[in-house]
Amino acid sequence: MNEFALIRQHFAKAIVNDDVALGIGDDCALLIPPSGKHLAVSMDTLVAGTHFPEGMAAKHIATRALATALSDLAAMGAEALWFTLALTLPKADEPWVGEFCESLLHFADTHNCALVGGDITRGPLTVSVQVHGAVTPNTALKRSGAKPDDIIYVTGSLGDGAAALAVLQQKFTVRRSSQDYLQQRFYRPTPRLQEGQLLVGTASAAIDISDGLLADLGHICDASGAGALVNVNRLPMSEHWRSSVSLDKALDWAVSGGDDYELCFTVPREKINTVEEWIRQGRLKATAIGKITANAGIFMVNNGKTLEFDVEGYKHFD
């Protein structure tokens, strides 16, 4: 089966929304941008052996690829609209593509995000996803808005991505229910789209945690010309794995592990009550972990003692 046949048989059946004037099958898709909105666009690439283990099931690669890309839209407070896909395959494996496509389109439908085009070519297994979203002008959550004394929050739990990878690599064992939880967190991370949109107008800055809390909070601090003080005792970690490792390992995974795709965001003091009320109501699962400081640098403290972490997030070319 050549690439055109694969597209016709699997990808051309993608469900499209009313904002797609022309979808898959022509040289370009024709899209209808929401009136009065800014388009938010981001692209992520996943390479076998680097971003997911060799031999990982096609269905899991599909959901991971789209989820990690949608997480960028969540960090900006954007609504997901469309995405395009570039798929590089070692060979035209029709059953593999069928499994990949079925999982991809189902996951896309759950987030109301339509596949509108892309490309298939031959080479080492690589998946590139470009997502398109919409946000009201001058409301997007950016990295550069944090101010001294803003409170730092994170959604969900940290360290799950690193713990999951250790389980997949058979370097770490947990009970079956916890193994299922961690595999789900790795194969199908949750893009915090609803949380990101909820935070528009309240958070002063935001980023998704892909390279680790230390590295990604560092991006907020660099863009905002500020620093941060983080209380590591406040870091939320899942009991699915936390009780099975030492404190040092747990903190290392939570601070530097990456692949959590949670949101790290900052909130001005005068808006803290709003966020805390959302948390009490169950509308937002988030934890306050520290504050933004005027002085540069990120300080991780435990009972007044500053901790040092060697790893500062994944870097492709180090």
Q: What is the CATH number of the domain that holds 62?
A: 3.30.1330.10
Q: Domain boundary at 84, 109, 135, which?
A: 135
208 annotated as ligand-binding: yes
pLDDT at 6: 66
Query: Annotated binding residue at 119?
Result: yes
Contact 254, 161 (CB under 8 A): no
Domain identity same for 205 and 288: yes
Query: Looking at the domain assignment, is residue 156 inside a domain?
Result: yes
Domain boundary at 135, 166, 186, which?
135
Pair (131, 150) in one structural domain: no
Q: Cβ contacts of residue 13 below 8 Å, gap of 6+?
A: 105
Instruction: Say which residue, 190 or 14, is predicted with more confidence.
Output: 190
**Binding residue per annotation — 118?**
yes
Q: Are residues 118 and 254 in the same domain?
A: no
Position 89 in a domain: yes
Listed range (72-81, 149-158, 173-182) with the worst mean pLDDT? 173-182
- Position 273 scores a pLDDT of 98
Q: Say what percent of the chain tops pLDDT 90.
A: 82
Out of 113, 135, 157, a domain closes at 135
How far is residue 312's CA from residue 298's CA, in Å, rounded to a whole number? 11
* 27 assigned to a ligand binding site: yes
93 is in an annotated binding site: no
| Residues 151 and 172 grouped into a single domain | yes
Mean pLDDT over 252-280 rounds to: 97
Q: Which domain holds residue 72?
A: 3-135
pTM of the predicted structure, to 2 decimals: 0.92
Tell me the average pLDDT across 289-298. 96
Q: Determine if residue 51 is labeled as part of a ligand binding site.
A: yes
Is the residue at 315 inside a domain?
no
Q: Determine if residue 180 is labeled as part of a ligand binding site.
A: no
* 290 assigned binding-site residue: no
Q: How many domains does the chain fold into? A: 2
Claim to verify: residue 106 and residue 151 sit in the same structural domain: no
Is residue 103 part of an annotated ligand binding site? no
Q: Is there a domain that residue 277 lies in?
A: yes
d(CA 3, CA 227): 49
143 in a known ligand binding site:
yes
Asked if the model's pLDDT at residue 196 lies above 50, the reply is yes
Q: Quick: pLDDT tens for 12-54.
A: 667 678 899 998 888 899 999 999 999 999 999 999 998 889 9
Q: What is the mean pLDDT of the chain?
A: 92
Digit-coded pLDDT (tens) for 207-243:
999 999 999 999 999 999 999 999 999 999 999 999 9
Alpha carbon distance 79, 22 (integer Å): 20
222 is in an annotated binding site: no
Residue 44 labeled ligand binder:
yes
Tell which residue, 220, 225, 242, has the closest CA to residue 233.
242
- Which pLDDT belongs to residue 254? 96
8 known member of a binding site: no
Q: In this predicted model, what pLDDT tens digit does every residue of 92-128 receive, in sequence order?
A: 888 999 999 999 999 999 999 999 998 989 999 999 9
